[in-house]
C-alpha cells in the first residue's frame, strides 16, 4: 500500500508516445496496463473482503449494520485509494511490470 500513496488520485494527461515507447505498439501497452489493473483490482477486492468479513455475523440487524463505525472507516479508506488503472499506468511507465510476447518467444514450427 505504501507505493500507492505517491500515485495521484486524479486523472493525469499522458502522451501517447510515452505509453507506446516500451512496446512499440499503443494497443499492446494498453492491454498490458489493463491486465495489470485487473490484477490490482482483484487483489484489492480480496483484501477488502477479508477485512470486512471480520465484521459480518449471521445475526446482524439493520441497526447494527449501519452503526458499525470501523467498517465504515475501512470502506472509506478503500474508496480514497487511487483507481487500479492509474496505479497500473504508473507501474508501466516506471518499468515495474514484467511482460513478454508469447508469440515471439515460441520458435517457428517446422512442417
* Cβ atoms within 10 Å, residue 100: 7
Give the separation between CA 50 and CA 45, rounded to whole angstroms.
Answer: 9
Confidence of residue 2 (pLDDT cuts 50, 70, 90): very low
Q: How many helices (H) and strands (E) does the chain have?
A: 6, 0
Q: What digits encode the pLDDT tens for the residues 73-111?
A: 888 899 889 999 999 999 999 999 998 877 776 666 565
Indicate the helix (H) or strand (E) that contains 22. Answer: none
% the chain with pLDDT above 90: 39
Q: Which three cell numbers stand for residue 83?
A: 483507481
Sign of CA dihedral 28, 30, 35, 36: positive
Calculate Rg over the CA atoms of the chain.
20
Q: What digits encode the pLDDT tens for the residues 20-65?
A: 999 899 999 999 999 999 999 999 999 998 988 887 766 655 555 5
Question: What is the structure's pLDDT at 11?
Answer: 74
Give the separation between CA 49 and CA 46, rounded to whole angstroms.
Answer: 5
Question: What is the structure's pLDDT at 89?
Answer: 93
Q: End-to-end distance of the chain based on CA atoms, in angstroms?
A: 50
Question: What is the structure's pLDDT at 43?
Answer: 96
Amino acid at each position: 500500500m505504501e507505493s500507492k500513496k505517491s500515485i495521484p488520485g486524479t486523472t493525469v494527461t499522458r502522451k501517447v508516445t510515452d505509453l507506446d515507447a516500451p512496446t512499440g505498439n499503443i494497443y499492446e501497452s494498453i492491454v498490458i496496463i489493463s491486465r495489470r489493473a485487473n490484477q490490482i483490482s482483484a487483489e484489492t477486492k480480496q483484501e477488502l473482503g477479508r477485512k470486512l468479513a471480520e465484521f459480518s455475523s449471521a445475526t446482524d440487524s439493520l441497526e447494527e449494520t449501519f452503526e458499525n463505525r470501523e467498517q465504515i472507516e475501512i470502506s472509506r479508506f478503500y474508496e480514497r485509494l487511487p483507481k487500479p488503472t492509474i496505479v497500473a499506468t504508473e507501474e508501466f511507465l516506471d518499468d515495474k511490470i514484467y511482460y513478454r510476447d508469447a508469440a515471439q518467444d515460441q520458435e517457428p514450427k517446422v512442417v
